[in-house]
Structure 1
Amino acid sequence: MELRDEQPTAHEIGNRRYLIAPVEPLDVDGVRTVQVGTGLFLLAFLGLLPFYGRLEEDGHTWLLWMCLSGVGLGLLGVEYCRRRRRFRVERDA
């Protein structure tokens, strides 16, 4: 959807009025978003690693492995988003 100057700055739906903010779109290819999420999973994994013994005693080792799988899936997601971005750039050129 392209925003043009002739579009209204407010929409009325029912009894409500919605204003449209003049902001630029965010990261549309998702690479940075997936990288940040992968990094957070990695930090959580590294933060839980010293507590492996306690996690094992309490039966919560799944938290550690969930973080590790989040890192693995995140790396796949980063590669997917990079390929998608490359394809879009080539298609638009």
Structure 2
Amino acid sequence: MVKGTPKHEAPEPLEGPVVATIVGGTITWFALFLVQLPFYGWFDDRGHAWWLWTCLAGGGLGFIGIWYVRRRDAAIKRAQATQAAQTLEAVDAADSASGIPEAESLRGPSPTLSAD
């Protein structure tokens, strides 16, 4: 066995509230920048001014991240809607080809009203 060979398949990636996570992180970076800004002189005297600029860069990159994950989330939702529409069209095509009435199709019976 070769060293480093995986013994099992990798798990599926976790999907969570990605947009909310990125927005929260971006707000945190900007808040850290604003909290440290009044102490710029102290940081600069000690050679730690890069702390402020790191926080500002984190906030700026967070804006790019927000743009990216919002577009990604929209693309995933569009793909799911397209796939659902194609599945529904395939079911309708199969029903019409087999001659099964719509009430008995794979979508289940249609609701009927009784005159009791």
Settle same-fold status: TM greater than 0.5: yes
- Alpha-carbon offset, residue 28 of structure 1: 2.1
Alignment counterpart, residue 43 of structure 1, candidates 31, 45, 48: 31
- What SS class does the counterpart of residue 64 from structure 1 fall into? helix
Unaligned residue ranges in structure 1 (runs of 5+): 1-25
- What SS class does the counterpart of residue 92 from structure 1 fall into? helix
Unaligned residue ranges in structure 2 (runs of 5+): 1-13, 82-116
Are 1:77 and 2:69 an aligned pair? no
1 CA distance for matches of 2:48 and 2:61?
21
Q: Look up the match of 1:68.
A: 56
Are 1:86 and 2:74 an aligned pair? yes
2 CA distance for matches of 1:62 and 1:76?
21
2 CA distance for matches of 1:44 and 1:27?
27
- Alpha-carbon offset, residue 52 of structure 1: 0.4
1 CA distance for matches of 2:29 and 2:79?
33
| Higher RCO, Cα 8 Å, sep 6+ | 1
Alignment counterpart, residue 28 of structure 1, candidates 16, 22, 26: 16
Matched to 2:65, the amino acid is G
> Which structure shows the higher helix fraction?
2
Identity %: 43
Which entry has the higher C-alpha Rg, 1 or 2?
2
Q: Deviations over 1:52-71 (max 9, x none)?
A: 00010000000000000000
Matched to 1:59, the amino acid is G
Q: Which runs of 4+ in 1 moved over 6 A?
A: none
For the structure 1 residues 50 and 27, does the alpha-carbon distance in structure 2 shift closer, same or farther, using more than 3 Å as the test?
farther
> Which structure shows the higher strand fraction?
1
